């Protein structure tokens, strides 16, 4: 990579400004001052600006998994139960799940080693929507759906407004779609139980703009750069370096 491009990718300055910094003799490669912006460097080269080391940001990983039931959304389990990381296989990145799905919940789970993005995607302040499909016992009438959407009092406080829709009904059971911007422990199950309609099966079908389209249960895919940039924008972060 050319030196000026490297400095720009490392976030030192824009490419144009980096060229000026180099021309001014402020940049050294392997301890030797280099004043040519086109100078080519390799991965092993030590680059300094004004004597301070400059490094490229580490490449982060962003994986979208369709979690099957029976896997814990943790990195490891003291009891040796299977975790979602076993579905990913060995990775040099220190991946962890963004938020949690219960052992028996299926569906979308993002895994990354990008701590700031993970924090913002799960914190209710940033309002990122997660969509669930809940198979419940009983058929809640419209008034109950409205009440669930307006906010329910759970033991850890009232829930924020949510969107709750009846997707299907049959004798004695129903399928609901519930969209939340919070992610409290077992929140969907507790909301439904508190309303009198216990969840029999739960699946996360949406995470921000991401869906499980093209994914099979137990498989994952890498997010595209455009998807990562879109997630960054969604939570008010400056786009990561290409």
Point out which residues bind ligand URA (CB under 6 A): 101-102, 105, 186-189, 202
Residues 108 and 17: their CA atoms lie apart, in Å, by 42
Q: Which among 161, 164, 162 is positioned nearest to 141, based on CA atoms?
A: 164
In angstroms, give the least distance from the CB of 162 to ligand URA: 11
Q: Which one, 153 or 226, has the nearer CB to ligand URA?
A: 153
In angstroms, give the least distance from the CB of 86 to ligand URA: 18
Q: Which one, 162 or 228, has the nearer CB to ligand URA?
A: 162
Cβ–Cβ under 8 Å, residues 177 and 113:
no
Residues 131 and 97: their CA atoms lie apart, in Å, by 17
In angstroms, give the least distance from the CB of 153 to ligand URA: 16
Q: Which one, 27 or 191, has the nearer CB to ligand URA?
A: 191
Q: Please say if 102 is a catalytic residue.
A: yes
- Class of residue 88 by CB neighbours under 10 A (exposed 0-12, middle 13-18, buried 19+): middle
Residues 117 and 223: their CA atoms lie apart, in Å, by 14
Cβ–Cβ under 8 Å, residues 240 and 142:
no
Q: Which one, 21 or 199, has the nearer CB to ligand URA?
A: 199
Count the residues in the chain. 242
Q: Which one, 137 or 186, has the nearer CB to ligand URA?
A: 186
Cβ–Cβ under 8 Å, residues 164 and 148:
yes
Catalytic residue among 45, 50, 66, 102: 102
* Other Cβ atoms closer than 10 A to 237: 15
Q: What is the largest CA-CA distance in the chain?
A: 79
Cβ–Cβ under 8 Å, residues 84 and 71:
yes
In angstroms, give the least distance from the CB of 149 to ligand URA: 15
In angstroms, give the least distance from the CB of 105 to ligand URA: 3
Cα separations in angstroms, 121 against 105, 110, 111, 227: 19, 10, 11, 13
Active site residues: 102
């Amino acid at each position: 990579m050319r030196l000026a491009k490297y400095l720009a990718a490392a976030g030192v300055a824009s490419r144009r400004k980096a060229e000026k910094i180099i021309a001014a003799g402020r940049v050294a490669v392997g301890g030797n001052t280099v004043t040519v912006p086109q100078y080519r460097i390799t991965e092993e080269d030590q680059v300094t600006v004004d004597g301070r080391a400059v490094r490229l940001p580490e490449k982060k990983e962003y994986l979208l998994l369709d979690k099957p039931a029976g896997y814990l959304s943790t990195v490891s389990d003291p009891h040796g139960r299977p975790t979602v990381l076993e579905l990913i296989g060995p990775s040099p990145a220190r991946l962890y799940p963004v938020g949690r799905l219960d052992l028996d919940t299926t569906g979308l789970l993002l895994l990354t080693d990008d701590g700031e993005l993970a924090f913002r995607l799960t914190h209710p302040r940033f309002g990122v929507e997660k969509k669930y499909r809940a198979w419940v016992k009983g058929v809640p009438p419209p008034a109950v759906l409205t009440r669930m959407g307006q906010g329910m009092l759970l033991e850890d406080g009232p829930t924020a407004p949510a969107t709750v829709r009846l997707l299907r009904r049959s004798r004695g059971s129903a399928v609901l779609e519930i969209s939340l911007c919070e992610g409290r422990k077992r929140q969907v199950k507790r909301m439904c139980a508190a309303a009198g309609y216990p969840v029999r099966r739960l699946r996360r079908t949406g995470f921000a703009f991401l869906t499980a389209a093209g994914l099979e249960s137990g498989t994952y895919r890498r997010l595209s750069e455009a998807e990562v940039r879109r997630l960054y924008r969604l939570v008010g972060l400056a786009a990561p370096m290409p």
